[in-house]
Structure 1
Amino acid sequence: MTDFTPGLSDYPWHVELTTRLQDNDENGHINNVAFYSFFDTGVSRFLKERCPHASRDIVAYVVSSQCQYISPASYPESIFVGLRVVKVGRSSVTYGLSVYAGDAKRRVAHGQFVHVYVERQTDHAVPVPADIKDALESIREEF
């Protein structure tokens, strides 16, 4: 076990997102469901940027996700999502993510997100395509 708490700069890839007033809940904090959207947006932007010509016949389905909340964030704070790849399997990839908020980029949540690659026509798992696997390996890191 480690006492290391990663900062945004410890992640090999990150993206800045804009919060919206509707992201806040009745307590004035960003609602928990928004964090899953931040995870999804971070992963999707990475894949679109690094794998723009990925096959439309093979798609990635989210099969698991989890989030641990550390401290609240609120609109209109900027959100920063740090992304790394924890593991690349035969047909799956596990991402490690952290969400940071505000000018100080304080860590407000972290979690994991798992994709399984499937053939769109059959919904059967297939190996991670080589070009995508190469992109994923470029941000693979262990803390």
Structure 2
Amino acid sequence: MTDQLTKAAVSPETRRRRAEYPVIRTVPTRWADHDTYGHVNNAVHYVLMDSAINGWLLDASQVDIRKLPAMGVVVETSCRYFKEVHFPQEVHIGIALERSGNTSVRYDVALFTDDETPVAVARFVHVYVDRHTRRPVPIPPEIHQALHQLRATRNVS
């Protein structure tokens, strides 16, 4: 197990830096986020990512995404954890565009606390579906425009 942790500690993901993420959303942790192990529960990381991405989409698209005819549903997530997060730390969530297609968007997400190295890195995938039929549809133009902002400002070194 120690060898696995050592490999994770030197993986390419741990070498990522805040500057590689064109969008940073800051969210506070709450007392209730702690689990019996004394750190913010891993499931909370997903809530923070979901809130950060959708909050950014609301701001960047300048529309209420809840009223668009298509909605982004989460179809895939993954997360690699490197450090614990504790209350009352703030979490700075970096959002970058990994890829977008006709109906789906794959976000590259990193969580930071006190320094430039991530405490966790994640993948978060939305597929856009019709609000009524729940069948895949093209990404709405308002979302495409917001994604263009991510594409145009990504600073990968």
Q: Indicate whether the TM-score tops 0.5.
A: yes
- TM-score, normalising length: structure 1: 0.90
Answering whether residue 103 of structure 2 is matched by residue 118 of structure 1, we say no
Q: Secondary structure at the match of 2:119?
A: strand
Could you tell me which residue of structure 2 aligns to residue 22 of structure 1?
Answer: 32
Which whole-Å deviations, capped at 9, do the CAs of 1:14-58 have from their partners, x for residues lacking one?
A: 110000011111121111001101110110111010113245321
Could you tell me which residue of structure 1 aligns to residue 148 of structure 2?
Answer: 137
> Larger strand proportion, structure 1 or 2?
1
Deviation at 1:7, TM superposition (A): 1.5
Answering whether residue 54 of structure 2 is matched by residue 44 of structure 1, we say yes
The answer to which of 12-21 and 53-62 deviates more is 53-62
- TM-score, normalising length: structure 2: 0.83
Mark the CA change 1:139 to 1:107 in structure 2 (over 3 Å): closer, same or farther.
same
Q: Residue 100 of structure 1: which of 99, 105, 112 is its match?
A: 112
Mapped contact 2:80–2:122 kept (Cα < 8 A):
yes
Q: Secondary structure at the match of 1:122?
A: coil
Deviation at 1:131, TM superposition (A): 2.2
Percent identity reads: 28
Could you tell me which residue of structure 1 aligns to residue 18 of structure 2?
Answer: 8
- Runs of 5+ consecutive residues of structure 1 not aligned to the other structure: none
Mapped contact 1:80–1:105 kept (Cα < 8 A):
no
- Measure the CA separation in 2 of the matches of 1:137 and 1:85: 9
Q: Secondary structure at the match of 2:118?
A: strand
What is the number of equivalent residue pairs in this alignment?
Answer: 141
Match runs of 1:54-133 below 5 Å: 54=65, 55-102=67-114, 104-133=115-144
- Measure the CA separation in 2 of the matches of 1:24 and 1:38: 14
Which whole-Å deviations, capped at 9, do the CAs of 1:66-114 have from their partners, x for residues lacking one?
A: 1110111100111100000110101000000000113x35421011000
Mapped contact 1:69–1:110 kept (Cα < 8 A):
yes
> Larger helix proportion, structure 1 or 2?
2
- Runs of 5+ consecutive residues of structure 2 not aligned to the other structure: 1-10
